[in-house]
């Protein structure tokens, strides 16, 4: 029985190179959920293998700035020289339809979301150790040495923001990390403050 009409907004962050994208894909591959992924908008260049409208909406800096002006973004931030942001309309539409919406965003944007939608669930993914992170960033082979260094510096600053999140999930194994996130989502749904109103309505009782 479903006790929530509106979906949960799930914000996932973590330092660059922690494997957020891989964990998110494993999460979406799990059965029996109604998760939808919010495709972000970015001004960064498309990487090999990425698809416009699937991984990101790739736009020009001018277009991005126009979206900001028009109030079309739930949040946005600059990350290592590029803009990234979450289109607002789709998020609200999915939540109203009762679907969970997953945002995979960096920490500044996550804080903006928390302010605007305080009932969101904030999850921070961490690596089992810092070395794993640096190795991943270097072996990805998609960025120049300079960009890698900037991302490592950024990751070190991002680590310090973990305390702003509701949950910390260690990505020791991708499937374990995805399992943990699914457990968090299920537990959040069962929280009294999220479900009591609907339950009382169902049994025809008023809350005192
Ligand atoms: P990448 O260039 O590696 O795809 O992403 C760089 C960083 O930007 C990652 O930490 C990613 O989670 C974050 N990011 C992706 N989309 C958004 C977004 O819509 N808003 C914000 N604030 N960060 C995002």
Q: Round to whole Å and give the CA distance between 4 and 96.
A: 11
Residue bearing the bigger pLDDT, 80 or 58: 58
In degrees and rounded to multiples of 5, residue 166 shows phi and psi of -80, -30
- Residue 195: per-residue pLDDT: 84
pLDDT digits (tens, 9 = 90+) for 8-55: 999 999 998 899 999 999 999 999 889 999 999 999 999 999 999 999
Per-residue pLDDT tens for 170-188? 999 999 999 999 999 999 9
Ligand 1 environment, Cβ below 6 A: 16, 20, 40, 44, 75, 77, 79, 84-86, 104-106, 109
Smallest Cα–Cα separation from 73: which of 97, 109, 21, 43?
109
CA–centroid distance, residue 199 to ligand 1 (Å) = 37
Q: What is the pLDDT of residue 152?
A: 87
Cβ burial, residue 87 (10 Å; 0-12/13-18/19+) = middle
Best residue among 79, 104, 152, 164 to mutate for probing ligand 1, ranked by most atoms within 8 Å of CB? 79
């Amino acid at each position: 029985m479903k006790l929530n009409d509106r979906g949960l907004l799930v914000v996932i962050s973590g330092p660059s190179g922690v494997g957020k994208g891989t964990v998110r894909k494993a999460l979406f591959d799990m059965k029996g959920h109604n998760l939808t992924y919010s495709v972000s908008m970015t001004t960064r260049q498309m990487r090999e293998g990425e698809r416009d409208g699937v991984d990101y909406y790739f736009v020009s800096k001018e277009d991005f700035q126009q979206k900001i002006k028009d109030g079309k973004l739930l949040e946005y931030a600059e990350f290592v020289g590029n803009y990234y942001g979450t289109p607002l309309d789709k998020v609200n539409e999915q939540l109203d339809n009762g679907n969970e919406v997953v945002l995979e965003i960096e920490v500044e944007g996550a804080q903006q979301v928390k302010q605007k939608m305080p009932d969101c669930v904030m999850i921070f993914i961490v690596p089992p150790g810092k070395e794993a992170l640096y190795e991943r960033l270097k072996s990805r082979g998609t960025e120049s040495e300079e960009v890698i260094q900037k991302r490592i510096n950024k990751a070190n600053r991002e680590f310090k923001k973990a305390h702003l999140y509701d949950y910390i999930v260690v990505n020791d194994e991708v499937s374990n990390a995805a399992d943990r996130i699914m457990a968090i989502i299920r537990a959040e749904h069962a929280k009294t403050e999220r479900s009591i109103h609907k339950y009382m309505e169902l049994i025809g009782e008023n809350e005192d």
